[in-house]
Chain A
Amino acid sequence: MLFEEFDPLKGEMLQILDKNGNIVNDKLVPKIKKETLMKMYKTMVLGRIADVKAVQFQRQGRMLTYAPNHGQEAAQLGSIAAMDDDDWLVLAFRELNAMLYKGVTLEQSYLYWYGNEMGSKYDENVKVLPINVPIGSQINHAAGIAYASKLKGTKEVTIAYIGDGGTSHGEFHEGMSFAAAYDLPMIVVIQNNQWAISTPRKKAIKSKTLAQKAIGYGIPGIQVDGNDPLAMYLAVEKARERASKGEGPTLIEAVTYRMGPHTTSDNPKLYREDKEVDEWAKKDPLIRFKKYLIDKKYWSNKKDEELQEASKKEVLEAFKKVEKTGLVDLEDIFKYTYEKLTPNLKKQLNAYKEYLNEEGAK
């Protein structure tokens, strides 16, 4: 069993594809359909460009605060690709790639970071919860979804994401305890990107690995090279098998790196060295994934150039549409408070409209 083979207490980390794109663990290469691999890769390219562009748009004053994903693409895509279409995705806030893979559109994602609630209204059949900013709290939502799946006897499994810093939060602990107690069909992926804003993972958390936190809950935990899409896929595939068989949740630590700032309001130069960033740049998930696909004859440099161009266009078009959305209608800030507008809210809305009528728009 994979989870016995890689003991987080011994500091063993699952890796299949090394930073140069070479297979280092032949017998563990997961069987992934070409179609799936290509969807992963295309999403990764789109995700990377969308991310870099979002930061640029923000710098130009065209986008609000944005939380970059740069460097963490494989941690998300390797994991989400091993899930079924019918599974649930529960987000923290730095999972653009997993969202795109699961059917959230780029336009919706951009709209959210553009400051419009409509960006969290995903299409009807997309089983993704909105971005969840309060650290740790999403783990409890995931546990509830998984409990319902189990009670209803569906085949759904829930995958939830959290950051390294988030594993210190009480809500993480409560959610894990809950999920473990009832053997819930749930997978938690920790994107250990080494930083929680300015606080280094090593300084805030005493345990040697984050995966070993699983031991306290009585569930398996595994540390995975988060920049290796194949290793992430394998770990989640196995975790999903466990979940499906009613064996309960699994905790997966994806070891990766936040190449960009925490958000566009953050200046990492205040607290970390360029040298560290440069070291991680060499472990870029895109580089190794592309090489793997070319080695497999699934892909070529020429096709890659075309994909880069097409993705850039897609990104620019999505953002152009978002920029046309303008401001949110007054009614919209009221009408989702309850199912129906209460008399009190009606009164407040009407009084404000009267003001606008008399004094003109704000």
Chain B
Amino acid sequence: MAVKTILQAINEALDQSMEKDDSVVVYGEDVGFEGGVFRTTAGLQKKYGEGRVFDTPIAEAAIVGSAIGMAVNGLKPVVELQFSGFSLPGYNQVVTHAARFRNRSRGKYNLPMVVRMPYGGGVRALEHHSESLETLYAHIPGLKLVIPSTPYDAKGLMMAAINDPDPVIFMEPKRIYRAFKQDIPEEPYEVEIGKARIVKEGKDVTIIAWGALVREVEKAMKQVTDIDAEIIDLRTIAPMDTETIVNSIKKTGRVLIVHEAYKSFGPAAEIISRINEEAFYYLEAAPKRLTGFDVTIPLPKGEHHFIIDPKQIAYELKKLMAEKA
């Protein structure tokens, strides 16, 4: 075991995957020599050479599009888009090609590729550096969307993503890249994609979150000791682990979903629909969501209005518990 941050865990996952499998390549803007603007890929170019770890021109369509070609031709590319807000010039390639190659070729071509991108707010950053764009990726058939919230999961999910036969969008909660450490196995391991994690079992209410918000939920629960909440870390947004969610609702009858992504048409809307479809008669109160407002995420001097904090979570939770069917 070794004590690691999320950032170090991802670095280790990349390192061990590259060590084990020569077909894994890692590239993106400033990824090679410098090791990425967050230093997530630090040391990899030195160890594996410029052929397998390299800096690209500023060209996201080329980064994603070339990954498709590499995946077709026997490599396992893991590309970095510097911030999720800058993933959009590559979005065309993701949506019109990466998501469709398997279907288009009726299974002849599949794409074992990973598109990494730091995401989320609360880091007092410039415009386009704070977005939570889960909705844009989760909506598209053929894509998997994975978001870790702990170092253990970050390593295991990344190793699973690299070995996954389909394209995986891997969003990294940059606000907690270095926020805390966890003792994780030194040897390679995988965490199954498509499976949620029950952070804490409980009987009164289900709270669903992912990424940096999981910790905020945990902090909130330290403030409300009289409610026994079941906390679910979704970990994979798509394809979603509906079973874990539904089983939990059947037990608790109440649900609060917390995400920083914009509210309208967002992930919580989909989760609530599934709950309605599969556990409607178990509900004791209307499902609740606490999300980003439907406004462009503000620059730092207004960001506090937008960022969800534990006090807000506790407040919504109390309101939810007070509701009677």
The interface of chain A, by Cβ under 8 A from chain B, is 64-65, 114-117, 131, 133-136, 165-166, 168-171, 196-199, 203-205, 263, 265-266, 270-271, 325-330, 332-334, 337, 344-345, 348-349, 352, 355, 358-359, 362
Instruction: Flag if B302 contacts A359 (CB, 8 Å).
Output: no
Instruction: Flag if A117 contacts B304 (CB, 8 Å).
Output: no
Interface positions of B from 256 to 273, Cβ below 8 Å from A:
263-264
Q: How far is the CA of A155 from the CA of B305 in the complex (A)?
A: 44
B304 surroundings in chain A (CB, below 8 A): 327, 362
A115 surroundings in chain B (CB, below 8 A): 124, 299-303
B57 surroundings in chain A (CB, below 8 A): 165, 168-169, 199, 204-205
Interface positions of B from 30 to 81, Cβ below 8 Å from A:
30, 33-34, 37, 55-59, 61-62
A344 surroundings in chain B (CB, below 8 A): 264, 294
- Nearest chain B CB to A208 CB, angstrom units: 16
Instruction: Flag if A116 contacts B34 (CB, 8 Å).
Output: no
Residue B325 is within 8 A (CB to CB) of chain A in the complex: no
B293 surroundings in chain A (CB, below 8 A): 333-334, 345, 348-349, 352
Residue B128 is within 8 A (CB to CB) of chain A in the complex: yes
A271-B294 CB under 8 A given contacts A114-B301, A116-B299? no
- Nearest chain A CB to B125 CB, angstrom units: 7
Residue B244 is within 8 A (CB to CB) of chain A in the complex: no
Residue B315 is within 8 A (CB to CB) of chain A in the complex: yes
A116-B302 CB under 8 A given contacts A136-B58, A169-B89, A270-B34? yes
Q: With contacts defined as CB atoms under 8 Å apart, how many contacts are there between chain A and chain B in the complex?
A: 123
A204 surroundings in chain B (CB, below 8 A): 55-58
The 7 closest A-B pairs by CB, nearest first: A328-B302, A115-B300, A168-B57, A198-B34, A115-B301, A116-B301, A115-B299
B62 surroundings in chain A (CB, below 8 A): 170
Instruction: Flag if A166 contacts B33 (CB, 8 Å).
Output: no
Q: Which of B5-13, B149-157, B196-204, B306-314 contacts A (4 or more CB under 8 A)?
A: B306-314
Contact with A along B269-305 (1 / 0, CB 8 A): 0000000000000000000000001111011111111
The one of B61, B127, B296, B301 in contact with A327, judged by C-beta atoms closer than 8 angstroms, is: B301
> Known contacts A196-B29, A327-B301, A337-B296; can you find 12 more A-B pairs with CB under 8 A?
A117-B298, A133-B128, A166-B58, A168-B58, A198-B55, A199-B30, A325-B301, A328-B298, A332-B302, A333-B293, A337-B294, A362-B312
Contact with A along B93-131 (1 / 0, CB 8 A): 000000000000000000000000000000011111000
A171 surroundings in chain B (CB, below 8 A): 89
Q: How far is the CA of A193 from the CA of B140 in the complex (A)?
A: 39
- Nearest chain A CB to B307 CB, angstrom units: 8
B189 surroundings in chain A (CB, below 8 A): none
Instruction: Flag if A64 contacts B124 (CB, 8 Å).
Output: yes
Q: How far is the CA of A65 from the CA of B300 in the complex (A)?
A: 10
A265 surroundings in chain B (CB, below 8 A): 37
Q: Which residue of A lies closest to B34 (CB)?
A: A198
Q: Which residue of A lies closest to B57 (CB)?
A: A168
Instruction: Flag if B126 contacts A198 (CB, 8 Å).
Output: no
Instruction: Flag if B124 contacts A327 (CB, 8 Å).
Output: no
> B30, B88, B127, B301: which has the most chain A beta carbons within 10 Å?
B301
- Nearest chain B CB to A254 CB, angstrom units: 18
Instruction: Flag if A355 contacts B312 (CB, 8 Å).
Output: yes
- Nearest chain B CB to A136 CB, angstrom units: 7
B127 surroundings in chain A (CB, below 8 A): 131, 133
Q: Which residue of B lies closest to A116 (CB)?
A: B301
B55 surroundings in chain A (CB, below 8 A): 198-199, 203-204
- Nearest chain A CB to B164 CB, angstrom units: 28
B302 surroundings in chain A (CB, below 8 A): 115-117, 327-330, 332-333
The one of A117, A170, A352 in contact with B61, judged by C-beta atoms closer than 8 angstroms, is: A170
- Nearest chain A CB to B61 CB, angstrom units: 5
A327 surroundings in chain B (CB, below 8 A): 301-302, 304
> B263, B299, B312: which has the most chain A beta carbons within 10 Å?
B299
Instruction: Flag if B305 contacts A352 (CB, 8 Å).
Output: yes
Q: How far is the CA of A136 from the CA of B312 in the complex (A)?
A: 39
Q: How far is the CA of A352 from the CA of B295 in the complex (A)?
A: 13
B37 surroundings in chain A (CB, below 8 A): 197-198, 265-266
A135-B58 CB under 8 A given contacts A271-B34, A334-B293, A345-B294? yes
Q: How far is the CA of A329 from the CA of B61 in the complex (A)?
A: 37
Q: Which residue of A lies closest to B264 (CB)?
A: A344
Q: How far is the CA of A34 from the CA of B29 in the complex (A)?
A: 44
Q: How far is the CA of A170 from the CA of B304 in the complex (A)?
A: 35
B33 surroundings in chain A (CB, below 8 A): 198-199, 271
Instruction: Flag if A117 contacts B86 (CB, 8 Å).
Output: no
Instruction: Flag if B29 contacts A197 (CB, 8 Å).
Output: yes
B264 surroundings in chain A (CB, below 8 A): 344
Q: What are 20 contact pairs spanning A and B, CB under 8 A?
A: A64-B126, A115-B124, A115-B300, A133-B126, A136-B58, A168-B57, A169-B59, A170-B62, A197-B29, A198-B55, A199-B55, A204-B56, A271-B34, A325-B301, A333-B293, A348-B263, A355-B315, A359-B311, A362-B311, A362-B312
A358 surroundings in chain B (CB, below 8 A): 315
